[in-house]
């Protein structure tokens, strides 16, 4: 698949140059517009997707939502059209590799992870400010350019805040390893869902391990809702305490227990960056920035796996089923956390993973 282009090579005003990769929804090509020398990424959707009315609406939705966003960390969407029996979306071409592919070499040094985290979180803040929730943030949906710039891709299941249906996605819209508990359980989805996914992404970047991936889809979904992954220092002891604290705060099971917005997470990252040359030094945090009971350098409340966390004044909640989303976690399983990805490539494309 990689490098091959379909016949005809000309699609509308675009000449296909190279296949960048494929995912569950379609194939992405690098293309050159007829009247320009600036390459774009052209996404062609699979015929089975085009034949579904809801999926077709989802395609148009992706273009409509993403075209509203203008931020350096978000790959722009320029246009959409139908040709050669398929639907196509014209996107910014972002040369580089997916973050998932980069992580195949192992975890990133924490200063590098912090810099990418700042960019990605700033992009999410911009989307939330525009009223858009991504709903599928993951390492496969972030391109890292040769200049070290992050580009968030694929608003294929992004949704406006307040809407109750994710077109084409059903109850489990999203990628299991990066979904929030409320996505899995069919609850209200909002910016807090992206905050959870950002926490999962940062955990993976800092440790090289996806916290919930491995096993069957149902096992992954159950882990997301009920299981506490090993503390970050178990994989990467040099990561500053403030980043450990932030990531585990973002991965709270109960949306109300997470940072109240991606903007708050961004503030914490910015504070950490002020002192990034001194490992473990959290910097001066604005009063009230961290959640009650959390300190910038203190050990996270989930330091011990399997310990049930009290998330509010009503006391701890228990149970090992996916129905628990109040912030409690249980963890009697070891779980495979290696994750899996397929078909990474350069350019604006996505990879499918459990």
- Residues forming the active site: 136
- Stated as kind and residue range, the H or E segment containing 197 is helix 191-207
Minimal CA–CA distance to 254: which of 182, 347, 194? 182
Peptide bond into 119 cis (omega under 30): no
Minimal CA–CA distance to 9: which of 27, 31, 35, 25? 31
Q: What is the DSSP letter of 255?
A: G
d(CA 303, CA 233): 9
Q: Please list the residues that pair with 133 across neighbouring strands.
A: 159
Residue with tokens 């931020």: 71
d(CA 70, CA 330): 40
d(CA 68, CA 129): 11
Contacts of 236 (CB under 8 A, 6+ apart): 107, 110, 206, 207, 208
Using only C-alpha atoms, the chain has a radius of gyration, in whole angstroms, of 20
| Structural contact between residues 330 and 223, judged by C-beta atoms closer than 8 angstroms | no
| Structural contact between residues 354 and 24, judged by C-beta atoms closer than 8 angstroms | no
d(CA 171, CA 174): 9
d(CA 101, CA 284): 34
d(CA 307, CA 220): 20
For residue 189, give the 3-state DSSP assignment.
Answer: coil
């Amino acid at each position: 698949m990689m490098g091959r282009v379909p016949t005809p090579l000309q699609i509308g005003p675009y000449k296909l140059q190279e296949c960048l990769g494929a995912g569950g929804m379609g194939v992405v090509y690098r293309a050159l517009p007829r009247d320009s020398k600036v390459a774009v990424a052209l996404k062609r959707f699979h015929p089975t997707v085009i034949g579904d009315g809801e999926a077709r609406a989802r395609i148009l939705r992706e273009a409509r939502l993403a075209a509203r966003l203008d931020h350096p960390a978000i790959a722009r969407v320029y246009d959409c059209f139908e040709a050669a029996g398929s639907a196509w979306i014209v996107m910014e071409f972002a040369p580089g590799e997916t973050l998932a592919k980069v992580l195949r070499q192992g975890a990133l040094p924490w200063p590098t992870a912090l810099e990418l985290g700042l960019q990605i979180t700033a992009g999410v803040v911009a989307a939330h400010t525009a009223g858009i929730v991504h709903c599928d943030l993951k390492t496969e949906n972030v391109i890292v350019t040769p200049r070290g710039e992050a580009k968030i891709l694929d608003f294929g299941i992004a949704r406006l805040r307040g809407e109750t249906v994710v077109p084409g996605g059903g109850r489990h819209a999203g990628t299991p390893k990066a979904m929030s508990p409320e996505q899995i359980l069919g609850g209200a989805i909002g910016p807090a869902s992206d905050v959870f996914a950002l926490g999962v992404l940062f955990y993976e970047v800092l440790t090289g391990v996806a916290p919930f991936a491995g096993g069957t889809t149902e096992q992954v979904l159950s882990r997301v809702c009920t299981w506490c992954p090993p503390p970050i220092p178990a994989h990467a002891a040099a990561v500053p305490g403030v980043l450990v604290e932030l990531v585990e705060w973002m991965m709270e099971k109960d949306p109300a227990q997470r940072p109240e917005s991606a903007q708050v997470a961004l503030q914490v990252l910015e504070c950490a960056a002020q002192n990034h040359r001194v490992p473990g030094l959290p910097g001066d945090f604005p009063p009230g920035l961290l959640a009650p009971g959390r300190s910038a350098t203190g050990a996270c409340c989930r330091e011990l796996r399997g310990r049930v966390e009290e998330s509010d004044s009503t006391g701890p909640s228990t149970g090992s089923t996916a129905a628990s989303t109040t912030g409690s976690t249980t963890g009697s399983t070891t779980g495979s956390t290696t994750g899996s990805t397929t078909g990474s490539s350069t350019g604006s494309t996505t990879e499918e993973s459990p």
